[in-house]
Amino acid sequence: MRYLTYLIVSIFTLFTFSGCGSISGGYSLSGSSILPEWKTMYIAQFPNYAPLQNPSLSQELTLTLQDVFRNRTKLNMTNTEDADLIVEGEITGYDVAPMQIQSNDIAAENRLTISVKVRYINNVDETKSFDRTFTAYENFPGSAMLSDVESTIVPNIINIIRDQVFAAIAMDW
């Protein structure tokens, strides 16, 4: 019985650690498949073109994207567009919509949705480049004003979009 338990734990450990190697010949950090020849990255400021405006959204989104690539990859951030990888785009949507209407035509719940168009240019491997829109949302009580919940839900939505963009670029999803 003790031998069987040891064998199961050993097999589980073997399978767990066998997935920790590099992917596609690149280094693997937090699941990243950034190739070693990709050295520099430029993330441009994301202007806010959404009809409904949040004055700090552009800066918060840009800094969050820069931080995730700085912290989870070995890429060096640059301030010039001659980088190996370039990320640019714009905020295209910042919308509030009712989700659950009560019998008195009042929303029981609202949804804030943020959409961001991202252009990713890989100057080393152009087949990896893309132009895509990423969207995320969070619901909040219908009794609350957007201004009351914005400081709580906007960072959550930005983090979801950050993770979507990171996965699309660094994990090739």
Q: What is the CATH number of the domain that holds 139?
A: 3.30.160.150
> Are the C-beta atoms of 33 and 24 separated by less than 8 Å?
yes
Please tell me the total count of domains within the chain: 1
Q: What is the pTM of this model?
A: 0.78
Is residue 59 included in any domain, yes or no? yes
Query: What is the pLDDT, as a whole number, of residue 36?
Result: 83
> Pairing state of beta strands 40-43 and 85-101?
parallel
Q: Which domain holds residue 105?
A: 23-170
> For residue 16, is it within any domain?
no
Residue among 168, 162, 167, 66 at smallest CA distance from 114: 162
Predicted confidence band at 32 (pLDDT cuts at 50, 70, 90)?
Answer: low
Mean pLDDT, range 142-160, rounded to an integer: 95
* Mean residue pLDDT across the chain: 83
Please report whether residue 7 resides in a domain.
Answer: no
Task: Specify burial of residue 107 (Cβ count, 10 A radius: 0-12, 13-18, 19+).
Answer: middle
- Does residue 155 lie within any of the structural domains? yes
* 159 in Cβ contact with 21 (< 8 Å): no
Q: Where are the alpha helices (DSSP H) in the chain?
A: 2-18, 57-72, 146-170
Does residue 17 fall inside a structural domain? no
In a domain, 92, yes or no: yes
* pLDDT bucket at 155, cuts 50 / 70 / 90: very high
Write the CB contacts of 101 (distance below 8 Å, at least 6 apart in sequence). Answer: 107, 108
pLDDT of 28 above 50: no
Residue that has been written with the tokens 């690149």 in this structure: 26
**What is the residue whose two structure tokens read 């979009």?**
161
Does residue 2 fall inside a structural domain?
A: no
* pLDDT higher than threshold 90 for residue 9: no
pLDDT in tens, 75-100: 999 998 899 999 999 999 999 999 87
Please give the average per-residue pLDDT across 117-123, as a whole number: 97
Instruction: Identify the pLDDT of residue 100.
Output: 75
